[in-house]
Every structure is written in C-alpha cells, then in structure tokens.
A and B are shown apart, each in its own frame.
Chain A
Amino acid sequence: MKKIIFLFLFLILPNKVLALIEVDITRGNLNPLPIAVSPLSIDEQSKKSFDKLLKIKNIGSEISKVVENNLKTSGLFNPLNKDAFLQAPDIANLKPRFEDWSLIKAQALITGKVTIVEEKLRVEFRLWDVLAGKEMMALAFTTVPNNWRRVGHIITDKVYERLTGEKGYFDTRIIYVAEEGPKTRRIKKLAIMDQDGENNKFLTLGNELVLTPRFNPTSQMVTYLSYFRNLPRVYLLDIETGMQEVVGDFPGMTFAPRFSPDGKKIIMSFAKDGNSDIYTMDLENRIVEKITNHPSIDTSPSYSPDGKYICFNSDRSGYQQIYIMRSDGSKVKRISYGKGLYGTPVWSPRGDLIAFTKLHKGKFYIGVMRTDGSGERLLTENFYQEAPSWSPNGRVLIFYRETETDAKGKGFSAKLWSIDLTGYNERLVITPTDASDPSWSSLLSN
C-alpha cells in the first residue's frame, strides 16, 4: 500500500512541477490565460533621454502597453490590471516574488528593463511561469529609439510563440484601401498601418481609384489595381521607395493580383472581350504565362504556400464557385459544393485551409474549408463582408464589412474586422477613415 502511494506521488509531483504553462489555441478564447505585464523598468537617466528623443514620458510603460494590448486582442490572454501588482518593476525583473503574482491569479508574468546605450534603445525582457516559479525565456534587443513600438510587437511575438507553440503575428503591417466620400463617388487611397492600427500612413493621394492591395510575402513590395488614366491595370509599389510601375503590357483590364509565395511572380486576371482568365508574370524576366483558358470568368487566384497549386474563383458551372488546379493550370477541380455562391478563395499560410466569402440567401459569410472542399465552417454572417486575408501564422483573418444603407441611401460605412480561425474573438480594427481590402504582411522581423 505504501509503495503504491509513493509511486503515485512520484508520478504526479514531478509532472506538476515540470508542466510549464501552455495556451490551447485550438479552441476559442473561452479561458484566456491570465498574464501580468509588469511595466518595463527604467532608470531616471534613460527615462530623461528617451523623453527628450521621443517626447514620451516613460518609454518602459509605453512598450509594456503595446505588449498588453497585443496579448489582449489575440483573445488568448487576459492581461491583469496593473493596479493590483504588488512588486515594483525593477525588483520583479530581478527575481519575482511568485506568491505575490499568483495571489492576483497571474499564471505568467512578463518583466523587463529599458536602458539607453549610445543613443540606442536597449530592451531586455523575461517571461516567467508563476505557478512553476521558473523563468521561461529571457531576451534582449537593441534598436533605434523610433522603433520602440516594434520592440513591443517583437516581445509579444516571442511570448506568444513560447506559450502557444506557434509563431506570432504582431510585428506585422496591414495594407488596405482608405475610403472617404459618398458611396456613389468614393475616394480611395492606399494606406498602411501596424497590425495594431498604429502608424497609419497614406501611400497614394486619391487622384485615381485604387483597389485590392496585396503584400509580397518576402519583401516590402505591394501589388494592387489602379485606375490611373482610366485604365484599370495591376501595379507594383515599393513601399520603401514609393516607386510604382505597371505590371505587364496587356491590351485590357488586369486585376485581382497576388504574389506567389516566393514573391517572384504575380498571378492575376486579365479581362478581354468579356472573358477573364488567369495569368502569371515573372517579375524577373517579365515572361507572361496564361494559366486558365475558359470562356467563363476566372479570377481571385491564390497560390498554396508551397507554390504547387492555385485556388481561384470561376463561374464556369454557371455561378461563382471555388476551384483548385496545379500551378501550370492542369487538373482543374471544383471544391465548393455547398449552397450559395463562393468567392475570394485565399490559401492559408499553413496550407491546410482555404478561406472564402460566401453569399447565401442575401447574407454574406466569411468561412474556411479544407483544400478538398470538405469541412466547411462559416465563421461570421453579415449584410456584406468579403475579402479575408490571413495573418502570417494562419490563426486570424482580417476582412472588410460594409453596412446596409437606409431608405434614403444614407448610413454607408466600410470597416476592417478580424476574427480568429475558431470563429471567436471578432473585433473591429479601428482605422482613421473607412477602410476595405486589407492584406496582412509577413513577420517583419523574420
């Protein structure tokens, strides 16, 4: 009897001590992990220097606010109220008193320190498992002071990765179309912002209509549709230099552009004589290839992450449906068979799912299905919404939603929304103007 009890304890105790906290991301955000984000500690000298450089009183607590906000919007974490923190930031970073942190129900704790080193921002941070009483991670970065928000995003990415086992998506940007003016004469500009809605910047002036910007997954290039000189054509834009150029020399409308996963090709539709087919253009040698050849509308192409397949939208069956084919255009196969119309297929960066827009009985849905069309799941229903774009880790979708106008045609708006792959955590993404056509960048720090 004694022996049995001894064995039992032996098995349980080490387990309990060794079991570091983990966040389950396969379910929704029903039990977000309670986490304490202690303000990053900062000495008086560094504080004064950063105040002078950046006009920010306490850069340490500002960075921790970025982290806290990221964790909260992910839906997987519940950052605790700082008023309840018992330990001072500088002491907590040296050696947290775990009893104090478990008293306020924190399961994880982030501490850190900011200093100025030769006019540069040096940040170190630590992630602690409060229950196990252990340090899980410690890292330090040095960067130019203006990058302080990015430091917050990188810290969040590291914490997210350590606790969920998957890459984060916080040090990323979103390119979108900023909209203003009446519905019948919308003015549209390309705009870019950080993933958390900060650092908004317009990239075009609004002189011509612009639509559907998409990031190159490997660089700071964007492809989009512009009505420059009333000729709707696919363009390339270098965000760093502002250089723009038209893609290819097509005698008609080119639209619906996207990059290949290696960033070397653009895939798009070319419409002529009432027929739209899918083409690719190699950005290096400018060779154009025709991928589909069918009298129906073929559009909204998107590559699988390995580049071997393409999903696209076609009405060859009579109505808009989703198809896949090999990247050379062979083996075309319809995969959407549910009720309603399907559009805007986008292949997940993990490769296993395709996100789409569905129109059924006057309602619009954002959903996901497996790449063979099975396992369809609708994540959200609304009057009008479309154009999902994946976060680089394939966990979150961002899309846009338009409101129904009243009897007088008033009350129109377009906004960005995000939703977790699980269908939980639907959120409005706040932008300075109305917004549509979002596209998520890859991780900048990779």
Chain B
Amino acid sequence: MKLNKILKNAFLVMVACLALSACATKKSTGQMQGDVYTGTDTVEYLASGVPDRVFFATNESVLTTASRDTLRKQAAWLRKNSKVTIVLEGHADERGTREYNLALGERRANAAKDYLMTYGISSDRISVLSYGKERPVDSGSNPLAWSKNRRSVTVKAN
C-alpha cells in the first residue's frame, strides 16, 4: 500500500517534470515553427483581426498554412474596402547576397500577391516592391531576428 503511494507520488512528479520540460521546449521555439516566425511581436494590423504580414522559411517563398490564413483575412478585408490599393513589400534576412535577396523579396511578395488574386483581389489594386535585406525589422543577428525579417508586408497605398 505504502509502496503504491510512493509509486503514485513518483508518477505525479514525473508528470510534472514532463509538463515542465514540455513547457520549456515550447517556450524556446514558441515563436518559430521550423524556421518560420509564428509570433506577433512585429505584426501590425490593417484592421481589427487582419494582420499585415506573412513570414517565410529560409530561402523559401512558399506560403505556410498560417500565411494563407492571414492572406484570406486580408482578401476579405480588401473586398469590403474596395477602394483600397496596396503595396506588397517583400523582404529577406541578412544571410544572403544583396542581389539574390532583392530577387527573393520580389518572389515572396508575388507569392502573397498570387494568393490574394485567387481570393478575388484584382492585380490592379496590388503593386509589389522588394527591399531584399535592406529594411530589417529586427536588427539582431540570430535565427529569431532573421525569421521576423523574412516577410511580405501588406501596406495600404492610398
């Protein structure tokens, strides 16, 4: 009986430990999935519930599930506000050559543009501007800072 209790306690302690360690790992990667930024530190809003930016993996221009979700919200908002025109500003992190990053930023902004267009936003309302690595939001030299900088930001143009 006593042994049972000890085992039970040990079990509880183990569960607690696991929960804690799970918490700890979650905390360290809490703002990134793979190397795509999933936090909200730098995000601004076009309207309530409409985030202005999407994030990318290193060297990638593929939209993640979260990015597509954000862009659908932007598309819905743009449909409601049909006079608004936008600039999609594409960016890269500092870990690449300047010229390649200009092309990569352009490719990322266009991935966002294409998705908005499939949700009914006319290309006449969208222009694209790549900044490459020239305009980071986070000046850090670490993977989290770089993940915040790999982005396409939707900016109201009028």
Docked-complex contact B139 and A184, CB < 8 angstroms? yes
1/0 per position for A170-183, CB-CB distance to B under 8 A? 00000000000011
1/0 per position for B95-111, CB-CB distance to A under 8 A? 11111101110110111
The docked-state distance in angstroms from the alpha carbon of A315 to that of B59 is: 10
Docked-complex contact B130 and A437, CB < 8 angstroms? no
Docked-complex contact A300 and B107, CB < 8 angstroms? no
Which of B102, B114, B139 is close to A405, meaning CB atoms less than 8 Å apart? B139
Minimum CB–CB distance for B69 against chain A, Å? 21
1/0 per position for B103-144, CB-CB distance to A under 8 A? 110110111001000000000000011100011111111100
Check A232/B137 contact, CB under 8 A, given A299-B100, A313-B97, A437-B98: no
The docked-state distance in angstroms from the alpha carbon of A387 to that of B130 is: 19
Most A CB within 10 A of own CB, among B98, B114, B138, B145: B98
Number of interface residues of B (CB under 8 A): 31
The docked-state distance in angstroms from the alpha carbon of A295 to that of B128 is: 18
Stretch at the interface among A240-248, A271-279, A427-435: A271-279
Check A274/B110 contact, CB under 8 A, given A299-B103, A313-B100, A409-B139: yes
The docked-state distance in angstroms from the alpha carbon of A4 to that of B113 is: 88
Which of A211, A384, A402, A407 is close to B140, meaning CB atoms less than 8 Å apart? A407
Minimum CB–CB distance for B94 against chain A, Å? 7
| Contact size range, A | 35 or more
Residue in A closest to B129 when the chains form the complex, CB atoms: A230
Minimum CB–CB distance for B50 against chain A, Å? 23
Residue in B closest to A358 when the chains form the complex, CB atoms: B97
Docked-complex contact A297 and B140, CB < 8 angstroms? no
Most A CB within 10 A of own CB, among B111, B140, B141: B141
Chain B residues contacting A184 (CB-CB under 8 Å) are 135-139
Docked-complex contact A232 and B97, CB < 8 angstroms? no
4 tightest Cβ-Cβ pairs between the two chains A and B: A274-B110, A343-B97, A409-B139, A183-B139
The docked-state distance in angstroms from the alpha carbon of A362 to that of B141 is: 11
Chain B residues contacting A337 (CB-CB under 8 Å) are none
Which of B59, B106, B140 is close to A274, meaning CB atoms less than 8 Å apart? B106
The docked-state distance in angstroms from the alpha carbon of A344 to that of B130 is: 19
Chain A residues contacting B129 (CB-CB under 8 Å) are 230, 232, 253
* A186 at the B interface (CB under 8 A): yes
* B61 at the A interface (CB under 8 A): yes
Docked-complex contact B106 and A387, CB < 8 angstroms? no
Chain A residues contacting B110 (CB-CB under 8 Å) are 273-274
Docked-complex contact B99 and A232, CB < 8 angstroms? no
Chain A residues contacting B137 (CB-CB under 8 Å) are 184
Minimum CB–CB distance for A387 against chain B, Å? 7
Which of A182, A269, A362, A410 is close to B103, meaning CB atoms less than 8 Å apart? A269
Interchain pairs with CB closer than 8 A, number: 106
Check A232/B98 contact, CB under 8 A, given A184-B137, A274-B107: no
The docked-state distance in angstroms from the alpha carbon of A269 to that of B130 is: 13
Chain A residues contacting B139 (CB-CB under 8 Å) are 182-184, 405, 409-410, 412
Residue in A closest to B111 when the chains form the complex, CB atoms: A274
Chain A residues contacting B98 (CB-CB under 8 Å) are 211-212, 386-387, 437
Residue in A closest to B107 when the chains form the complex, CB atoms: A274
Check A343/B111 contact, CB under 8 A, given A299-B103, A409-B145: no
* A256 at the B interface (CB under 8 A): yes
Docked-complex contact A211 and B97, CB < 8 angstroms? no
Chain A residues contacting B97 (CB-CB under 8 Å) are 300, 313, 320, 343-344, 357, 359, 386-387
Docked-complex contact A343 and B94, CB < 8 angstroms? no
Check A384/B61 contact, CB under 8 A, given A274-B110, A409-B140: no
Chain B residues contacting A232 (CB-CB under 8 Å) are 102, 129-130
Minimum CB–CB distance for B140 against chain A, Å? 4
The docked-state distance in angstroms from the alpha carbon of A82 to that of B28 is: 61
Docked-complex contact A253 and B106, CB < 8 angstroms? yes
- Per the 8 Å Cβ criterion, residues 426-446 of A in contact with B are 437
The docked-state distance in angstroms from the alpha carbon of A186 to that of B132 is: 13
Docked-complex contact B61 and A274, CB < 8 angstroms? yes
The docked-state distance in angstroms from the alpha carbon of A274 to that of B115 is: 13
Minimum CB–CB distance for A412 against chain B, Å? 6
Which of A276, A362, A408 is close to B106, meaning CB atoms less than 8 Å apart? A276
Q: List 9 additional A-B contacts (Cβ < 8 Å) besides A256-B99, A276-B106.
A: A255-B99, A273-B110, A274-B106, A299-B103, A300-B100, A341-B96, A343-B96, A359-B96, A409-B141
Most A CB within 10 A of own CB, among B97, B129, B136, B141: B97
* A100 at the B interface (CB under 8 A): no
The docked-state distance in angstroms from the alpha carbon of A320 to that of B99 is: 11
1/0 per position for A352-394, CB-CB distance to B under 8 A? 0000010100100000000000000000000110110000000
The docked-state distance in angstroms from the alpha carbon of A230 to that of B114 is: 21
* A161 at the B interface (CB under 8 A): no
Docked-complex contact B106 and A384, CB < 8 angstroms? no
Docked-complex contact A384 and B95, CB < 8 angstroms? yes
Docked-complex contact B103 and A271, CB < 8 angstroms? yes
The docked-state distance in angstroms from the alpha carbon of A163 to that of B147 is: 52
Chain A residues contacting B138 (CB-CB under 8 Å) are 184, 409
* A209 at the B interface (CB under 8 A): yes
Check A404/B99 contact, CB under 8 A, given A271-B130, A276-B106, A297-B107: no
Chain A residues contacting B104 (CB-CB under 8 Å) are 297
Q: List 22 A-B contacts (CB under 8 A).
A: A184-B139, A186-B134, A225-B102, A232-B129, A252-B106, A252-B128, A253-B106, A256-B99, A271-B103, A271-B106, A273-B110, A274-B61, A299-B103, A315-B59, A315-B100, A320-B100, A343-B96, A343-B100, A344-B99, A383-B141, A409-B138, A412-B139
